């Protein structure tokens, strides 16, 4: 039987879960079991946990459905636990080094207490000094083992569940579990102290709690705040039933209502139903107020008295709600130009157009990528929705004749942005765009992240300088309602890179649908359009952008490569879209396709891909055609740009580090041999997870038609998908 059972709920934190698990498994004290609680066997967190369970027999995952909430997840872990002592660790928190050894030593001193409280550190997600809010509370507790009567201020409701370790027999014998619903820590903490007889403290930080950028989910607006009153009533009723002494009941009552009043006074938590919340809190207050209770001083005391008297209007006025609303209105972002600004603000006062969708790709480059694929499917499945594409002036000529568009910066542009119900982009809309209540913003992304993205770029000076203000970047992210993911890796990395309260849609990338719907005739047509000579094998060379370089350089002598590999090959050169200047580079066997608007067409035309670190490799892998990684500066790129995984350890095919190696693997055919196929198969299994040719339909039905998540068609298994055929065979003659 292990000394400790460490229970880690994981809902919504798959991107940071590995940090929590690593912090436990790295402890010097090893007598424990680690119980991650996943939503389901196929959830994002379960993918992370599976690897840990394979490597370490102490990892014993269990499942709890998301509908059971945090309480259900913790209770599922509690039922599975067999350790003497229980710890509850949130999935994005960590145990500090030496934590378990310190707990074991302290428990050796105290013996079988019911609960041992310890300090925790709250760490800002971005910048700022950590705080230790438990330290002042625990500082007043007795030094040894004590009964709750000796520390009446230690009620349990001010400390989260992960700021203590609990004797498992105490919880099971007392039938103590986490109460259902939100604010379960308040109910559980209060019930634990009411049932405890022997308590001790450890004045040392054991858990480091990462403060989420988007704040605690409990702080979001919604009717779930009424459940705080349920938890308070549960604890107060249990305390009354036990005949709790006045010395203990007073602090418990005061601490519970400090939390209740904080919610009642917060204008953003209860946008509707604040009066009903106040009235119910008033009844609870009057019913349980202990005899002789003295209200605290200052503003909090005034709130107590107003609540006790039921004076809602005075309570509301006390908080200066109108002033707060005025401050928010003054911070409204504005487009440039007085006339445009005034027009935009007038349009914002008009009702949303429930049948208007606005699309944009790559800051207005044209009708491309995921937004274009969604737009096309929406015209088929949701023809009642008017769709407008936003484009820069130089992209107007490339727009399909039957697609409505608005030029960025024009009056029409601001008009549709002000009134559209749906806003769909693969990058971000301008800072000045207002997220209106009732509008739906979908971020489609435009690739699978190998390089660091979003907030994760901050520690890389070169790219951070190019990114600009991270505060402004994250303010744009805050507008998202949905974010698309094409594989579980992306789901986890987007969570880290773009911390905000949006929902991830694991539907695949709509732009990649064509890799499973295109026919041999489509492939032949595209090759003719690009000028690929009949019978030639086309190698697509698509290098990525270098943040530390100025201008575009191929990094590879393509003419020399062509001479080395033989005249049966031609090279399709596609530079990063940053360098699309509409002019051709190269001639003869080197065909510049940088200016071709559709990257998917170019991939369909290619018999094999040569790239360095471009995300095009993840999309191209759907075609199940050979990929060669040309990594002549991997160490420099990894150091300066930052990456999420080691591509050299998990490549999609052969890796060449020099021009000579690259020419050799093509010349001898090893780029398409059995070993290359095995590498590609493993890569596809990991990164082509949700791309099956039906992503656009799933997106349209969920986002534009409002169909429930469970109605989405399941993803076709990888083994059952049939990619578009290649134009030529890939064995050297």
Per-residue pLDDT of 229-244, as tens digits, reads 999 999 999 999 999 9
Is 529-693 in the same CATH topology as 4-219? no
Rounded average pLDDT over 179-203: 96
Instruction: Report residue 482 as tokens.
Output: 């949905």
8-state DSSP, 458: G
Distance CA 66, CA 502 (A): 16
CATH, domain 338-512, list 3.90.230.10, 3.40.50.300, 3.40.50.11820, 3.90.79.10? 3.40.50.11820
Average pLDDT across the chain, whole number: 90
Rounded average pLDDT over 272-296: 90
Query: How many Cα neighbours within 13 Å face the side chain of 551?
Result: 2
pLDDT above 90 (res 149): yes
Q: What is the pLDDT of residues 619-639, one digit of tens each?
A: 999 999 999 999 999 999 998
Report the percent of the chain where pLDDT is more than 70: 93
CB 537 within 8 A of CB 730: yes
Q: In this predicted structure, what is the pLDDT of residue 299?
A: 80
pLDDT band at 77 (very low <50, low <70, confident <90, very high): very high
Q: In this predicted structure, what is the pLDDT of residue 551?
A: 52
Q: In this predicted structure, what is the pLDDT of residue 731?
A: 42
Higher-confidence position of 220 and 411: 411
Distance CA 673, CA 731 (A): 8
Instruction: Report residue 730 as tokens.
Output: 């890939």
pLDDT above 90 (res 386): yes
Q: Is 689 helix (H, G, I), strand (E, B) or coil?
A: coil
pLDDT band at 460 (very low <50, low <70, confident <90, very high): confident
Q: In this predicted structure, what is the pLDDT of residue 732?
A: 41
pLDDT above 80 (res 371): yes
- The CA dihedral of 397, 398, 401, 407, to the nearest 10 degrees, is -60
Q: What is the CATH number of domain 4-219?
A: 3.90.550.10
pLDDT above 50 (res 177): yes
pLDDT above 80 (res 418): yes
Tokens 């150091």 locate to: 639
Closest alpha carbon to 495 in 446, 453, 450, 435: 453
Give the residue extent of every domain in the chain: 4-219, 221-328, 338-512, 529-693
pLDDT band at 336 (very low <50, low <70, confident <90, very high): low
Tokens 């507790």 locate to: 141
Phi-psi category of residue 346: left, alpha or beta, with phi > 0 → left and psi -120 to 50 → alpha = alpha
Q: What is the pLDDT of residues 666-686, one digit of tens each?
A: 999 999 999 999 999 999 999
Q: How many CB atoms lie within 10 A of CB 156?
A: 27
Domain range 529-693, CATH class = alpha beta
Sequence-distant (≥ 6) Cβ neighbours of residue 632 within 8 angstroms: 555, 556, 612, 657, 658, 659
Q: In this predicted structure, what is the pLDDT of residue 298?
A: 80
Q: In this predicted structure, what is the pLDDT of residue 545?
A: 79
Q: Is 611 helix (H, G, I), strand (E, B) or coil?
A: strand
pLDDT band at 329 (very low <50, low <70, confident <90, very high): very low
């Amino acid at each position: 039987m292990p000394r400790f059972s460490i229970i880690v709920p994981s809902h919504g934190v798959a991107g940071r879960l590995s940090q929590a698990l690593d912090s436990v498994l790295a402890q010097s004290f090893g007598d424990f079991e680690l119980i991650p609680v996943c939503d389901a066997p196929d959830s994002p967190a379960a993918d992370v946990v599976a690897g840990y369970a394979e490597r370490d027999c102490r990892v014993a995952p269990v499942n709890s459905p998301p509908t059971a909430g945090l309480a259900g997840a913790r209770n599922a872990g509690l039922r599975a636990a067999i350790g003497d002592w229980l710890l509850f660790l949130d999935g994005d928190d960590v145990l500090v080094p030496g934590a378990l050894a310190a707990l074991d030593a302290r428990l050796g001193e105290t013996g079988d207490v019911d609960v041992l409280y310890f300090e925790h550190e709250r760490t800002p997600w971005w910048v700022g000094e950590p705080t230790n809010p438990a330290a002042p509370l625990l500082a007043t507790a007795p030094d040894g083992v004590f009964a709750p009567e000796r520390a009446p201020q230690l009620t349990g409701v001010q400390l989260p569940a992960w700021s203590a370790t609990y004797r498992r027999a105490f919880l099971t014998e007392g039938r103590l579990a986490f109460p259902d619903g939100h604010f379960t820590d308040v109910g559980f903490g209060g019930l634990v102290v009411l049932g405890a007889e022997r308590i001790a403290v450890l004045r040392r930080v054991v858990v480091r709690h990462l403060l989420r950028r988007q704040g605690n989910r409990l702080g979001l607006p919604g009717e779930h705040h009424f459940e705080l009153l349920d938890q308070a009533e549960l604890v107060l009723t249990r305390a009354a039933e036990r005949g709790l002494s006045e010395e203990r009941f007073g602090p418990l009552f005061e601490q519970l209502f400090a939390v209740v009043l904080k919610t009642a006074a917060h204008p953003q938590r209860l946008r509707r139903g604040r009066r009903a919340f106040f009235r119910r809190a008033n009844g609870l207050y009057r019913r349980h107020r202990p005899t002789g209770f003295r209200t605290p001083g200052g503003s909090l005391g005034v709130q107590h008295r107003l609540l006790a008297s039921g004076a809602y209007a005075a309570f509301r006025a006390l908080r200066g709600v109108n002033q707060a609303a005025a401050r928010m209105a003054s911070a409204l972002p504005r487009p440039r130009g007085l006339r445009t600004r005034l027009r935009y603000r007038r349009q914002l006062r008009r009702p949303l157009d429930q049948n208007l969708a606005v699309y944009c790709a790559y800051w207005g480059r044209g009708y491309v990528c995921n937004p274009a694929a969604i737009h096309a499917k929406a015209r088929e499945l949701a023809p009642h929705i008017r769709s407008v594409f936003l484009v820069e002036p130089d992209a107007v000529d490339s727009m399909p004749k039957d697609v409505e568009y608005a030029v960025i910066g024009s009056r029409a542009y601001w008009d549709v942005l002000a009134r559209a119900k749906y806003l769909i982009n693969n990058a971000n809309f301008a800072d000045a765009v207002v997220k209106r209540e009732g509008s739906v913003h979908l971020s489609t992304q435009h690739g699978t992240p190998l390089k660091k993205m979003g907030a994760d770029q901050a520690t890389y000076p070169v790219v951070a300088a190019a990114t600009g203000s991270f505060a402004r970047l994250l303010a744009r992210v805050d507008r998202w309602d949905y974010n698309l993911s094409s594989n579980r890796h992306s789901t986890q990395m987007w969570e880290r890179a773009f911390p905000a309260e949006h929902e991830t849609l694991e539907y695949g990338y709509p732009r990649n649908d064509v890799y499973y719907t295109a026919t041999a005739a489509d492939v032949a047509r595209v090759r003719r359009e690009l000028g690929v000579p009949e019978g030639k094998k086309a190698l697509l060379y698509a290098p990525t952008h270098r943040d530390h370089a100025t201008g575009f350089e191929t990094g590879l002598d393509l003419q020399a490569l062509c001479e080395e590999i033989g005249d049966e090959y031609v090279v399709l050169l596609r530079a990063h879209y940053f360098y699309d200047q509409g002019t051709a580079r190269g001639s003869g066997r080197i065909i510049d396709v940088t200016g071709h608007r559709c990257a998917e067409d170019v991939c369909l035309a290619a018999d094999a891909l040569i790239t360095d670190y471009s995300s095009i490799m993840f999309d191209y892998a759907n075609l199940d055609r050979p990929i060669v990684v040309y990594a002549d500066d991997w160490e420099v790129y990894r150091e300066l740009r930052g990456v999420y995984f080691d591509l050299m350890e998990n490549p999609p095919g052969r890796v060449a580090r020099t021009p000579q190696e690259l020419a050799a693997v093509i010349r001898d055919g090893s780029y398409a041999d059995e070993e290359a196929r095995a590498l590609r198969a493993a890569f596809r299994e990991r990164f082509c997870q949700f791309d099956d040719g039906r992503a656009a339909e799933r997106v349209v039905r969920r986002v534009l038609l409002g169909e429930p998540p469970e109605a989405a068609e399941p993803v076709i298994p990888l083994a059952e998908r049939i990619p578009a055929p290649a134009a030529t065979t890939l064995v050297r003659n």
